[in-house]
Amino acid sequence: MNYQRSSALFEAAQKVIPGGVNSPVRAFKAVGGTPIFVERAKGAYLYDVDGNRYVDFIASWGPLILGHAYEPVLKAVTEKAALGTSFGMPTAIETELASLAVSMVPGIDKIRFVNSGTEACMSAIRLARGFTKKDKIIKFKGCYHGHSDAFLIQAGSGAVTFGAPSSPGVTKGTAKDTLLADYNDLEGVQQLVQEHKNDIAAIIIEPVAGNMGCIPPEASFIQGLKRLCSHEGILLVFDEVMTGFRLAAGGAQEVLDISADIVCFGKVIGGGLPVGAFAARAEIMNYLAPDGPVYQAGTLSGNPLAMSAGLAMLQALSKDKAVFKRLAEKTAYLHKGIEGVLLKHGISHTINRLGSMISVHFCQDAVTDFMTAAAGDNETFKKYFHGMLAQGVYLPPSAYESYFLNDALSYEDLDFTIAALEKVAPDLL
Ligand SMILES: *Cc1c(COP(=O)(O)O)cnc(C)c1O
């Protein structure tokens, strides 16, 4: 494939944008080479500026669960845009999207919209601290909750990929209030809670981790967290920015049959426009300004274009009851196909999957937490990534990212992907 125009654009971008990108993982640092610049996308396909086509397994990192340029979303956004793009005043569509989200997700009465997953998690933690009147939080190594200071302490994907598990610029004062535990290690969490008795406001977790590959929680672990939180007066915060409206209409809460105290959203809820949200039962949400003392605000929050995209997306998902099952079946098919090829060629691997999230790790042992995810062979991953890219398959450019399948992917696309791996596999040894 020819990447001439992408290379030229990347060079120009680097002169005026740090690293040439507005979010680090896009720069291909973990896999080397030049990022491809997109011209357009439709359904399951991306088309770059050099005219190459790719079957897309990222879908803008999750939001486009029904594929690129999904007609109902396009229609909703363009119709809304004609009426004006932002008012900084209430609009009816905010209540429409809020009502629909509240009806789909278990255990929430009220929802507040923000502009990104980062904002959602940051605000959820402030709310949890305000509500419990406690300062410390527990997060898990390898879980990513956006780039706000409190979370940039052993955060997965981007942060790990760049060898900066905690970033300069995060103060020691902030770091001391974030306690770290290992994913799937309930005893470790119990110990932290004992050591910091009555100081912990919240435990925040990706209920199915997606920022160190895809790592589902063990049932005893996630149930144990729930019990521990209830017992100790700690709020359980589910960061469902990835899993919300993806694993099921009710997200991971529904799939795992566990209710959290606060739930964070992003990605799918915006249908491809910048939307985040956090939600909880009324007792907690009423602590937010203007009803309560915990301050949170946003000039563009509840933006009508963003709300109309989110509404069209959630309406489509709530009407099509079979969509999540269909996606899970496609993902299982891909899993089986990839596994077959890697086994045939004798390439050590572990594949993790839940619903429409899947990750391929080049290591022998089970991947259950950050340490086991980090054991994957990155040299093999690089060859795999670039090999597949050259075959017209766009996978996440980091071994720490989950793939996100979208419903526009056909079985022909999946067969194309598996056939591509057949060609690439001999080079992975
Ligand atoms: C993507 C992501 C975020 C951050 O969302 P942004 O919209 O990128 O700020 C937070 N938590 C999880 C689990 C995510 O996957």
- pLDDT digits 0-9 by tens, 102-138: 999 999 999 999 999 999 999 999 999 999 999 999 9
Q: Is residue 164's pLDDT more than 80?
A: no
The percent of residues in the chain predicted with pLDDT above 90, rounded, is: 93
* In a shared domain, residues 65 and 153: no
CATH number at residue 102: 3.40.640.10
Looking at residues 253-269, what average pLDDT do you find?
Answer: 98
pLDDT of amino acid 92? 98
CATH number at residue 387: 3.90.1150.10
* In a shared domain, residues 102 and 193: yes
Domain boundary among 319, 351, 367: 319
Q: Is residue 166's pLDDT more than 70?
A: no
pLDDT in tens, 314-345: 999 999 989 999 999 999 999 999 999 999 99
pLDDT of amino acid 170? 87
* In a shared domain, residues 53 and 90: no
Mean pLDDT of the chain: 95
pLDDT of amino acid 163? 38
Minimal-distance CA residue to ligand 1 atom 6: 117
Question: Could you tell me the pLDDT band of residue 175, with boundaries at 50, 70 and 90?
Answer: confident
pLDDT of amino acid 366? 97
* In a shared domain, residues 149 and 196: yes
* In a shared domain, residues 142 and 166: yes
Range of the domain at 399: 4-69+321-428
pLDDT of amino acid 152? 87
pLDDT of amino acid 153? 78
Q: Is residue 160's pLDDT more than 60?
A: no
pLDDT of amino acid 165? 45
Looking at residues 253-265, what average pLDDT do you find?
Answer: 98
* In a shared domain, residues 221 and 90: yes
Minimal-distance CA residue to ligand 1 atom 5: 117
* In a shared domain, residues 330 and 274: no
* In a shared domain, residues 229 and 295: yes
The Cα 362–Cα 379 span in angstroms is 9
Catalytic residues: 144, 239, 267
pLDDT of amino acid 316? 98
Q: How many domains does the chain have?
A: 2
More reliable by pLDDT, 170 or 393:
393
Q: Is residue 363's pLDDT more than 80?
A: yes
More reliable by pLDDT, 429 or 295:
295
Domain boundary among 319, 346, 378: 319
Select from 25, 118, 300 the residue to mutate for testing ligand 1; criterion: most ligand atoms less than 8 Å from CB.
118
* In a shared domain, residues 120 and 11: no
pLDDT of amino acid 1? 86
Q: Is residue 172's pLDDT more than 70?
A: yes
Select from 121, 264, 265 the residue to mutate for testing ligand 1; criterion: most ligand atoms less than 8 Å from CB.
121
* In a shared domain, residues 356 and 315: no
Domain boundary among 258, 286, 319: 319
* In a shared domain, residues 109 and 213: yes
pLDDT of amino acid 11? 97
Question: Residues with beta carbon inside 6 Å of ligand 1?
Answer: 116-118, 121, 144-146, 206, 210-211, 239, 241-242, 266, 276
Looking at residues 249-262, what average pLDDT do you find?
Answer: 98
> What spacing in Å lies between the alpha carbon of 178 and ligand 1's midpoint?
18
Q: Is residue 158's pLDDT more than 70?
A: no
